[in-house]
Amino acid sequence: MKAIVINEFGGPEVLKIVNLDTPSISTNQLLIRVEATSVNFADIQTRQGTYHAAGKPPIIPGLDAAGIIEAVGSDVKGFKVGQRVIAFPKTGSYSEYITADENLTFAIPNNVDFRTAAASPVVAFTAYKLLADVGRVQPGETVLIHAAAGGVGTTAIQLAKILGASCVIGIVGSENKVSTAIEAGADHVICYEKDEFAPKVNELTNGKGADVILDSISGKVTEKSLDCLAMYGRLVNFGNASGDFGQFITKDLHASCRAVLGFSLGTTRNNRPELLREPAKWLMSYLAEGRLNMKVGKSFKMEEAAEAHRLVESRKSTGKVLLEMNK
């Protein structure tokens, strides 16, 4: 089989296509022929050697995939050969074949195509957990989403509305991303190139602030987010794309009954995979019903993985970027 392998950390040029043996499966695993896989910012960090779960080269990057089951282990009960699935693989997804544990594999509804399915696992599972379980969004609340034009951002905007938020405010880094966040359903979009976001959020909420804030940027963005977090609000950090680390003063939390929370989908997949079963049920039904629309910004051939990385790393992409194996 063909796969993209990182033999040394570095720039996009270290992504090389190599021929490898098709992997074997254990009794509780499935062998899946990959149709498409998404490109996530964690893949950039893996390539650079800065992702916390990257390991050491040689590495096949990639966190999720959509494809068709080619073989099932003897202990697998819920799947069969030929079934269409999404999965979080054991050892990377930039590959023609992957292996995945049964409890990290989920059936694709019949009316959902592979592109939509491949765009959904990391961003949709992350967004759902951030909003429903960690941020505990309640009907009528205001949700603020940083990086609102990206894969998680455009998905979280939609899910916030599905879960009952009355107002969703998106923050984007450039004017050309405003329309993407609006198309996803944001009620207001703030471009931090033009405006300081915290005063603007407070103005939009009549001084109350946002009840739930999703922050994948960290650093100064986290610190400024506390300036527009409502009483009893929840700030959920799930990344540090800025490369910096924010700080806060403890009394700014307890006096206002506010909370700063953290979430990692990777940690959850590795340590508490059972926590993804319930989100999968809801997310697959939302996709099947057309209530959740996955925004695919651009797709590339497997051989164009370096180009895909350059696009994501430039922060000029919107929606999800995909690698399609049969494109």
171-218 residue pLDDT tens: 998 898 999 999 999 999 999 877 799 999 999 999 999 999 999 988
Q: Are residue 113 and residue 174 in the same domain, yes or no? A: no
pLDDT digits (tens, 9 = 90+) for 118-134: 999 999 999 999 999 99
Q: Look at strands 97-101 and 84-87 and give their pairing.
A: unpaired
* pLDDT at position 249: 81
Q: Are residue 253 and residue 144 in the same domain, yes or no? A: yes
CATH of the domain at 183: 3.40.50.720
Question: pTM for this one?
Answer: 0.92
Calpha distance 66→116 (Å, rounded): 9
State the average pLDDT over residues 251-270. Answer: 92
Q: Are residue 160 and residue 202 in the same domain, yes or no? A: yes
- From edge to edge, which strands make up the β-sheet containing 210-215? 188-191, 167-172, 142-145, 210-215, 229-237, 259-262
Instruction: Tell me if 154 is assigned to some domain.
Output: yes
Cβ neighbour number for residue 272 with a 10 Å cutoff:
9
Q: What is the percent of the chain with per-residue pLDDT over 90, rounded to a whole number? A: 80
- Which DSSP string corresponds to 258-308? -EEEE--HHHHHHH-GGGGHHHHHHHHHHHHHTSS---EEEEEEGGGHHHH
Domain ranges, residue 192: 123-266
* pLDDT at position 164: 97
Q: Are residue 7 and residue 73 in the same domain, yes or no? A: yes
Count of domains observed in the chain: 2
* pLDDT at position 117: 96
- Final residue before a domain boundary, out of 266, 281, 306: 266
- Final residue before a domain boundary, out of 251, 266, 281: 266
pLDDT of 94 strictly over 90: yes
Instruction: Tell me if 218 is assigned to some domain.
Output: yes
Length of the chain counted residue by residue: 327
- For residue 59, the 8-state DSSP code is B
| 4 phi and psi angles, rounded to 5 deg | -90, 125
34 in the Ramachandran plot: left (φ > 0), alpha (ψ -120 to 50) or beta?
beta
Instruction: Tell me if 37 is assigned to some domain.
Output: yes
Instruction: Tell me if 284 is assigned to some domain.
Output: no
Q: Are residue 216 and residue 190 in the same domain, yes or no? A: yes
pLDDT of 54 strictly over 80: no
pLDDT digits (tens, 9 = 90+) for 105-118: 999 999 999 999 99
Instruction: Tell me if 280 is assigned to some domain.
Output: no
Calpha distance 215→221 (Å, rounded): 8
Tell me which of 235 and 51 has the higher pLDDT. Answer: 235
State the average pLDDT over residues 230-250. Answer: 87
Calpha distance 199→208 (Å, rounded): 11
Q: Are residue 107 and residue 131 in the same domain, yes or no? A: no
Cβ neighbour number for residue 258 with a 10 Å cutoff:
20
CATH of the domain at 42: 3.90.180.10
Calpha distance 234→22 (Å, rounded): 45
Q: Is 95 helix (H, G, I), strand (E, B) or coil?
A: strand
Instruction: Tell me if 279 is assigned to some domain.
Output: no
pLDDT digits (tens, 9 = 90+) for 34-49: 999 999 988 999 999 9
* pLDDT at position 244: 78
The answer to whether 40 and 151 are in contact (CB under 8 A) is: yes
The pLDDT-based confidence of 280 (bands split at 50, 70, 90) is: very high
Q: Are residue 249 and residue 301 in the same domain, yes or no? A: no
Instruction: Tell me if 272 is assigned to some domain.
Output: no
Q: Are residue 39 and residue 161 in the same domain, yes or no? A: no
The one-letter amino acid at 296: V
Q: Are residue 240 and residue 164 in the same domain, yes or no? A: yes
Q: Are residue 7 and residue 111 in the same domain, yes or no? A: yes
User: Is the Cα dihedral 94, 98, 102, 105 positive or negative?
Assistant: positive
* pLDDT at position 154: 93
Instruction: Tell me if 288 is assigned to some domain.
Output: no
Q: Are residue 110 and residue 145 in the same domain, yes or no? A: no
Which secondary structure element, helix H or strand E, spans residue 310, and what is its range?
helix 305-313
- Final residue before a domain boundary, out of 245, 266, 287: 266
Q: Work out the mean pLDDT of the chain and round it to a whole number.
A: 93
Q: Are residue 103 and residue 137 in the same domain, yes or no? A: no
